[in-house]
Amino acid sequence: MHIEDQNMALDFDRAHIWHPYTSATHPLPTQLVESANGVRLCLADGRELIDGMASWWCAIHGYNHPRLNEAAKAQIDKMSHVMFGGITHQPAIDLCRRLIDITPARLQHVFLADSGSISVEVAMKMAVQYWQAKAKPSKVKMLSLRGGYHGDTFAAMSVCDPDTGMHHLFNNAVIKQLFTERPQCRFNDEFDQASTDDLERMLTKHHHEIAAITLEPIVQGAGGMWFYHPEYLTRVRELCDRFNVLLIADEIATGFGRTGKLFACEWANIEPDILCLGKALTGGYMTLAATLASAEVANGISANGGVFMHGPTFMGNPLACAVANASIDVLFENDWHKNVSRIETKLEKELQNAKALSSVEDVRVLGAIGVIEMKKAIDTVAAQAFFVKRGVWVRPFGKLLYIMPPYSISSEELSMVCLAMIEFAQEQTA
């Protein structure tokens, strides 16, 4: 693309296109991407960036993957979309069978949705409708962990942290939910038995009005990239059973191997009543999500002629389902666990040097997630310019400098990203 065309495109973008989490009138600078291949974003000016973000954690196989391309091309010649009401098709049947096979055994019913936020909304509606069918209409509240993030739509916002989260502007508009203290026991530390005391107090006081506990297993993502102890999940499951409350596990960010287990719930060997999936489900090719429910939840809602009251227009999109099936095939054929373990080892080795820097508060690694927490908020504009100059794509938020790269990233490419992160942290120390 000629430089004049690039400038015209960027000028229009800056004047008219509203990007996520930014101002319409004073937007953050954008990079004009012309194509992407492997783990590299190819800019219109000819530069290449190693993508450390996997396009917000979803492009786990990298870009322009031949198997996923082939699946999309084969499906689009048959049908790109049909309504899912009264109609079904093989890509959806195959995908739902696969999801039931690889997720916890109690999850036997799959509801296909549009996006991660919608899958959370669906899960919340399932929980409320379940208790309505059980003649307990007062159980409509959600109990969530502080520090959590579950999406940007209104019901999903209501279960995000109301104080430190990004949605505090809407506190007076969203449904008022209940919150318990974030687990302070770190993933690799000894479990603190007192970490669930506040949760138990909340359940003791409010269980009669709580439909479900909603949480991100093991890793709180956009709410702070916090990794907590698996035993906390074990205790949550026990308390849910004791107080007759459903457990919703939001694995939109953690699902499909990101933490070193196929699903983060496996770290505690627990099974949720409802499971939310998204992001990596299609390998980052297009939007698709799934909400899986136990037979008990599904049968409860459906008792006495009950129907679940939700139906997205693009539910079960055949094109997305076909690509999701191919993505799951590639995940297992490429030995995802070996790749994630390799990335984890590399991150632990190369990010540890940041611990000694005076500008750094903490360094933590789990699976294919690497985090450098700074002591001060990061200037996003300056940070993006810094990383682009060094040929990598890293987008920090708040005080967090983090990466969640594609599993296909080479060790050499990962080293380049880590080195840039260390250099940025060093520059903040100077």
CB atoms within 10 A of CB 35: 12
Question: Which amino acid makes up residue 332?
Answer: F
Q: What DSSP character marks residue 304? A: G
- Among residues 139, 261, 279, 346, the one annotated as catalytic is 279
- Among residues 63, 130, 149, 228, the one annotated as catalytic is 149
CB atoms within 10 A of CB 165: 20
- Among residues 21, 77, 101, 163, the one annotated as catalytic is 21
SS3 106: coil
Residue 384 CB contacts under 8 Å (≥ 6 apart), including other chains = 28, 29, 31, 394, 395
Largest CA distance in the chain: 68
Q: Respond yes or no: is residue 63 known to be catalytic.
A: no
CA–CA gap between residue 320 and residue 113 (Å, rounded): 11
Q: Respond yes or no: is residue 149 known to be catalytic.
A: yes
Angle between helices 318-333 and 90-102 (to 10 degrees): 40
SS3 169: helix
> Pairing between strand 289-294 and 107-113?
antiparallel
Could you list the active site residues?
21, 149, 250, 279
